[in-house]
Amino acid sequence: MQFSSRSVESLVDELSKLPGVGKKSAQRLAFFLLKASRDDAMGLANAIRAIKDDVISCSECGNFTEDDPCMICTDPKRSRVVICVVEQPMDVLAIEASGGFRGQYHVLRGALNPLDKIGPDQIRARELVERVRRGEISEVILATNPNPPGEATAYFLSDLLQEFSVSVTRIARGIPVGGDLEYSDQATLARALEGRKPVETQ
């Protein structure tokens, strides 16, 4: 499509590179920004510049941060003896939103998948071992995704951590809260049955 302005065309091109944004949506966003106040538009531009200039990877947990170590790693109210291992920074957000975990994180930035050229050197396994070696950790929770690469990564890490006196646990897998047994596939049901727990009575 021919635009009357090269700047608008360039903005549409850039916006359409975003995940889930097609050409039409990019045009709508570009015209919205054209009509928006200068403060709002510059606020967005500055926010984008800031994440590229200021955000770094936390040397401790591997999560995105502006301060190294990050806010979670330095929070005195959080337990320092439990580490939850996740594949991606987005997984930290999901677990934090659950409100059910008050320990430290370790972001691997991937899972073992040779078909995608990801081996042990491409995930932050060595950094995890180094954290555990320092001796403060008593439990490592493996919260990698419940798919074959995530399972293989959990197996690999648990094998690697055997020599340390830490408890290595895996997050539970099974029927989601609010789900129906009727619509669960056989693999999910099998995992749910494997991970069954005694009913606690008062």
Partner 1 sequence: MAIEKSEAIILRTLNFRDTSKILTAYTLDHGLVSLIAKGVRGPKPRFGSALEIFAHVDLVYYNKDSRDLQLLSQASLLEAHLGLASNLDRYRHACAVLEFLLKLLSGQEPPGKLYPLALRTLEVLEKAPVASLGSLFLAFQIKAVSFLGHRPELFSCISCRESLTEPVYFAPLHGGTVCDNCVVEVDGTRTITQSQLGFLQRLMKSTLAELFEDVPSSEFMADTRGIFELFLASQLDRYEPSRSLRQIPNRHALGLREALKAGDPLGN
Q: Which residues bind partner 1 (CB under 8 A)?
A: 19-20, 112-115, 117, 119-121, 125-126, 129, 146-152, 155-156, 159-160, 162-163, 184-188, 190-191
Q: Tell me the closest approach of the beta carbon of residue 195 to partner 1, in angstroms.
A: 13
Q: Tell me the closest approach of the beta carbon of residue 111 to partner 1, in angstroms.
A: 10
Question: Vertex 184, ends 179 and 189: CA angle to 5°?
Answer: 110
Taking the least distance from each CB to partner 1, the nearer of 20 and 100 is 20
Q: Tell me the closest approach of the beta carbon of residue 159 to partner 1, in angstroms.
A: 4
Q: How far is CA 6 from CA 9, 11, 12, 52, 133, in A?
A: 5, 9, 10, 24, 56
Q: Tell me the closest approach of the beta carbon of residue 166 to partner 1, in angstroms.
A: 13
Q: How far is CA 51 from CA 66, 92, 96, in A?
A: 9, 18, 21
First vs last C-alpha separation in the chain: 69
Taking the least distance from each CB to partner 1, the nearer of 2 and 186 is 186
Taking the least distance from each CB to partner 1, the nearer of 62 and 150 is 150
Helix (H, G, I), strand (E, B) or coil at 95: helix
